[in-house]
Amino acid sequence: MDLNLKQNKNNLLFLPLGGANEIGMNVNLYHLDGKWIMVDLGVGFAYDVPGVDMLTADISFIKAHKKDLLAIIITHIHEDHIGAVQYLWEELRVPVYTTELAANFLRSKLSEFKLEKTVDIHIINKNKELALDPFKIEFLGLTHSVPEMKALIIKTPKGNILHTGDWKFDPDPVVGEISEKEKIREYGDKNEILAVVCDSTNAISEGHSKSEGDLYHSLKLLIQDRKGLVGVTTFASNIARIHTIARIAKECGRKVVLAGWSLHRIYEVAKKSGYFGESFDFISDREIKFFSKNEILVLSTGCQGEPLAATKKIATDTHPTIRFSKGDLMIFSSKIIPGNEKKIFELFDALAKKQIDVLTEKDHFVHVSGHPSQDELREMYALARPQIAVPVHGEFIHTKTHAEIAKEAGVTQTFQIENGLAVKLSHAGPEVAGFVKSGYFGVDGNQLIDINGRIIKERRKLENAGIAIISLMVNDSLELIANARITCIGSYDIDNDIDAKNFLNQEIKMILKGKAKELDLGKNIGFKFLKKKKQNRRLRETKILSDIEKSMRSRILKLFEELMGKRPVLEIIIHLG
């Protein structure tokens, strides 16, 4: 059932275009009285899409209604919430509201696209409601692995929604403020929250997520007595972790070297936004040579095994200035994200071969999650006491388990949402309002391409068996003027198989001969007979050449199948000389 906007004009709708049944690419829409607001516009990781590492949501639905889109509100600086603004904002051209830290980060990213002056960015005032009629929005601080993560209370005459964003209840988040639980409790006590749209990332983890503050003690114990170089790799965006590690380095008499462009950027942005105010000792990688190994801590990008990132370069001795050797230490202060295992284990292996000690979350307490485990979800529902829970930011197993927890915590109604599904939220309960188009686009260099479209299909074919290009020049009598040019790329080593080349040429000649006979072009009349019907000549020539191409294609593909055991992509170009 397609979403009928006329019928739903006065309904409060929640419609995610991304991030509903997955972890990543969050794009959420809320609707009332014909107006929309968007919460977050993030990217997702692409797995097994040739040439594409990153995905954005298909936003064609809201693009068609952009005159009714009032704003984009960004909850925090993580790429799965902010990362698609640089790719998709121009299609929407509406104001962006966010915190100072996220605004600084966004401007830095937009400058690469020469958009930093074009995008209309407003910094939210956390003490003042944002009025976007018919919505009023109050911002609540929740702890996460980055500071300034803002949950939204979206207030409407049809009911209020708590959109949590990414969060955990961390009593000691290291940087930034602690969660504003009391504000949530105030709404909950008055039964003023209709629905909670909430993070499910860790819904299958029991207990309470550990605190960034506890991690500080564990990491310090692992680092303080080490001799030699110490490296820590983590997610570049994890400002809390950078802070924790920089503090430990200082206390252990080590200078911090940032390795990797994205860490440099986040450090500069965070500093500009008022973090890292204390006098931490950061030095550039070129200054390493002035210090002994015992005086350095390298903080590097690439904890997911990214092939071009600093940690990989360190492991393969291809970093321009940083050299690790036997007995040095590399700590992976990060999660092994499902899908990245192969690349990460290759990296562990490369480090181990160099006899560098490797510590990971599998064997040591070196990482904490930024998302709520089951006890925190229970606490959130006890505080907010909503009528409806809509779990998002998780795969089906996470959102399903999350819904069960919400029910146990006293929430009467839960709703399993999916990308492209609009749910009507009202005191009568959640109800399917209809579906809109949703999907994925791949970031491919400077273009966005449909990952189920022609380009990717062709790329997969090429990836599987390469291409053969046959270019021939024929005369009026359909005779080859010269031997056909056969070029094989990623398919067959034709240049070292003269027999195959000759055989293909013979076959081509035979096919041409057969066709000439069929068309009665034999008596040196050739294509000239077409001249009688001048106006149609071009058209008929084209038709004849395309007929020849068709009959040649199936035969030549068969021949390649005999040569290679599979069929390459085949391109036949016939010129009339």
- In whole angstroms, give the CA distance from residue 556 to residue 570: 9
Residue 497, CB half-sphere, CA atoms under 13 Å: how many? 15
Nearer CB in complex with Zn ion: 166/376? 166
Q: How far is the CB of 43 from Zn ion (least distance, A)?
A: 11
Nearest CB to Zn ion, comparing residues 41 and 256: 41
The residue among 509, 491, 507, 490 whose CA lies nearest residue 499 is: 507
Q: How many residues of this chain bind Zn ion (CB under 5 A)?
A: 3
Binding to Zn ion (CB under 5 A) within 387-426 occurs at none
Q: C-beta of 197: minimal distance to Zn ion in Å?
A: 13
Q: Which is nearer to Zn ion, 80 or 306 (CB)?
A: 80
| Residue among 393 and 424 whose Cβ is closer to Zn ion | 393
Question: In the complex with Zn ion, which residue's Cβ is closer, 391 or 568?
Answer: 391
Minimum separation from the CB atom of position 87 to Zn ion (A):
17
Nearer to Zn ion, 80 or 148 (CB): 80
CB of 278 to Zn ion, least distance (A): 24
**Structural contact between residues 151 and 139, judged by C-beta atoms closer than 8 angstroms:** yes
Q: Which amino acid is at 477?
A: S
- Is 371 an interacting residue with respect to Zn ion (CB under 5 A)? no
Tell me the backbone φ, ψ of residue 223, rounded to 5 degrees: -100, -35
Nearer to Zn ion, 24 or 434 (CB): 24
Between 319 and 393, name the residue whose CB sits nearer to Zn ion: 393
Contact 572, 495 (CB under 8 A): no
Q: One symbol per residue from 135 to 174: x for binding Zn ion (CB under 5 A), - otherwise; what is it? A: -------------------------------x--------
Q: Which is nearer to Zn ion, 11 or 104 (CB)?
A: 104
Q: Binding marks (x or -) toward Zn ion, 79..118, rule CB under 5 A?
A: -x--------------------------------------
Distance CA 148, CA 434 (A): 34
d(C-alpha 61, C-alpha 59), whole Å: 5
Rounded CA separation 75/137 (Å): 12
- To Zn ion, the closest distance from the beta carbon of 99 in angstroms equals 13
For residue 105, give Cα distances in angstroms to 55, 256, 568. Answer: 20, 22, 45
Closer by beta carbon to Zn ion, 148 or else 328: 148
Q: What is the 3-state secondary structure (H, E, C) of 513-542?
A: HHHHHHCCCCCCCHHHHHHHHHHHHHHHHH
Helix (H, G, I), strand (E, B) or coil at 269: helix
User: Would you give the distance in Å from CA 383 to the centre of its chain?
Assistant: 32
Buried b (16+ CB within 10 A) or exposed e, 37-46: bbbbbbbbbb
Q: How far is the CB of 42 from Zn ion (least distance, A)?
A: 7
Q: What does the alpha-carbon distance between residue 307 and residue 343 come to, in Å, rounded to a whole number?
A: 8
Q: Taking a C-beta distance cutoff of 8 angstroms, is the pair 512, 551 a contact?
A: no
Shortest reach from residue 144's CB to Zn ion, in Å: 5
* Cα separation of the two ends of the chain: 56
**Minimum distance, C-beta of residue 147 to Zn ion, in the bound complex (Å):** 11
Min CB(299)–Zn ion separation in Å: 20
Question: Which C-beta is closer to Zn ion: that of 78 or that of 241?
Answer: 78
The distance of closest approach from Cβ of residue 77 to Zn ion in the complex, given in angstroms and rounded to an integer, is 8
Residue with token string 């000649």: 509
> Which of residues 78 and 158 has its CB atom nearest to Zn ion in the complex?
78
Concatenate the DSSP letters of all residues of 288-319 into one string. Answer: GGGS-GGGEEEEES-TT--TTSHHHHHHTT-S
CB 199 within 8 A of CB 169: no
Closest separation between CB of residue 365 and Zn ion, Å? 21
Name the DSSP letter for residue 4: -
Minimum distance of Zn ion from residue 57's CB (angstroms): 14
x/- track of binding to Zn ion for residues 57-86 (CB under 5 A): ---------------------x-x------
- With a CB cutoff of 8 Å and minimum separation 6, the contacts of 440 are 25, 44, 46, 55, 56, 57, 58, 450, 451, 452
For tokens 């005779």, name the residue: 479
- Give the three-class secondary structure for 432: strand
Q: Site residues (CB under 5 A) for Zn ion?
A: 78, 80, 166
